[in-house]
Copies of this chain bind each other. A is one copy, B any other.
C-alpha cells in the first residue's frame, strides 16, 4: 500500500493519520518534539479547547469520539462575571442538547497519540525537526535533535500538519507565486490557574465557559477534569495602545495585584498563585495566517494551522483542522490515488471557508470582551432567539451555525451578516423582544434569507 508522510503529530496530524490508516495507507508521522506522553508537557501556554460539532463529527467518522468524550466537559453557556461579582448565564444553544466541550489540548493530544498507536500501519517518529524539502526529488530532510542525526526521507506524498509555525510553510515561502500573510493582534494572552477545592470539587459553575468581559480586555476560564479551571487573560501588549490595561504596564507584582483587585475582584480568592503564575508564564501571541496555494502538485499539502491559523475567540481552530481531515478524506474518495486532483479539490473547497472562520474569529473577540455586557447586544440576542424559534430552518444564530451545525463557514459568515442587519433593523427602537414587529421581521427574513437545508 502507498506510503504517506505527515509532518507534525499534533491534533490534526494525529487525527489525519487515523483517517489515512483506515483507508489502508502506510503512514509515517514526523514530530519535532519528544513524545509528550513521556516527557511532561510544557505548561503555561495553552488555551483550553472547545470541541464542537465539526470536530466531533470528524472524531466520530474514524470512531474515536467515544474515547475523547471521556476527557471532555460540557459547557452549556457563557457565565458572565460582572465587576460587582454577580453572574449570569448566556446559553449557547436552544436547550441542553446544544453545548461545547472543554478539553485540554495536551490531554487530547496524548489520547489521540495513544489511539493512533492502535493502528500498526501508523508510526510516529519523535524528535524529528523538518529542516528542508526537495520536492523535485520527493525528499524531506529531518534533524533529530536528541541524537544529533540528519535523516533523508523519500516521500512522494507529504501532508504538512505542523502548526502555525510550520517548517514546511517556511520552505513554501521560497516557491514562486506563494501568497502569504501573517498578522498579529495587538493583544497577547497569559495563562492563569484556578485550582480545585480541597475535596476536588470545582470552585465555580463547572458546565460553563466563564467570561469576565471588560471592554478592551477580558479574562476567561474553562473547566478541567481535575476540578481546576484554566484561565486566560487577553490583554493589549503596549502602553501606547492601551495605557494601564496592558502587559507592558503590568511589570511588577503590585501593579498586577491592583489590576486584578480593580477589574476581577471575585477572582482574587480563587487564584492563590496569581502573581507567581503571571510572571512565570510566558505571554502568548495571537496570530492569523492566510496563504495560497496550500499544495504543490500532488506532492505536498498543508492543512490545519499550517495553512490557516486563526485567533481562538470562536473556539474553532481545532474544529476547523479536524474538519480539514474530514474534507480531505472525501476528496481522496472522489479521486482515488490521484493526489494532484485530491489536493487541488481540497484547497479549492476549503480556502473560502477557512478565510471565513478567520474573519468570524476576529469579530468574536469584540463580542466576547465587550458586547456580551452591553444591553443592546443582549436585546438583539433575545430577538435572535425568538426568531430562531419561529424560523428554525432559516434564522439560525451565527454562533449555532458555526458551532452546532456543519454548513460551510463561508455560508455562516454570509448569513450571519444578513441576520445582523435584520436584528439591527428590528432592535432600532430599543423595544423589548416581546414587542418586535413580527410582520416586518417576516418580510425582512423572506426577502433576504433563503431557507437552510438542515
A residues with CB within 8 A of B: 170, 173, 176-184, 237, 285
Contact of A180 among B176, B177, B182, B237 (CB under 8 A): B182
Q: Are A179 and B182 in contact (CB under 8 A)?
A: yes
User: Which residues from B are CB-within-8-Å of A173?
Assistant: 170, 173, 182
Using CB atoms, name the residue of chain B closest to A185. Answer: B177
Closest-CB distance, A62 to chain B (whole angstroms): 35
Complex Cα spacing A181 to B182, Å: 6
User: Which residues from B are CB-within-8-Å of A179?
Assistant: 182-184
Q: Are A178 and B184 in contact (CB under 8 A)?
A: yes
Complex Cα spacing A182 to B176, Å: 11
Q: Are A237 and B177 in contact (CB under 8 A)?
A: yes
Using CB atoms, name the residue of chain B closest to A180. Answer: B182
Could you list 15 A-B pairs, sorted by A, with CB under 8 Å?
Answer: A170-B170, A170-B173, A173-B173, A173-B182, A176-B184, A176-B285, A178-B182, A179-B182, A179-B183, A179-B184, A180-B180, A180-B182, A181-B181, A181-B182, A181-B183
Q: Are A177 and B170 in contact (CB under 8 A)?
A: no
Complex Cα spacing A170 to B178, Å: 15
Q: Are B184 and A181 in contact (CB under 8 A)?
A: no
Complex Cα spacing A177 to B284, Å: 10
Using CB atoms, name the residue of chain B closest to A177. Answer: B184
Q: Are B178 and A180 in contact (CB under 8 A)?
A: no
* Given A170-B173, A177-B285, A181-B181, 17 new contacts (CB under 8 A): A170-B170, A173-B173, A173-B182, A176-B184, A176-B285, A177-B184, A177-B237, A178-B182, A178-B184, A179-B182, A179-B183, A179-B184, A180-B180, A180-B181, A180-B182, A181-B182, A181-B183
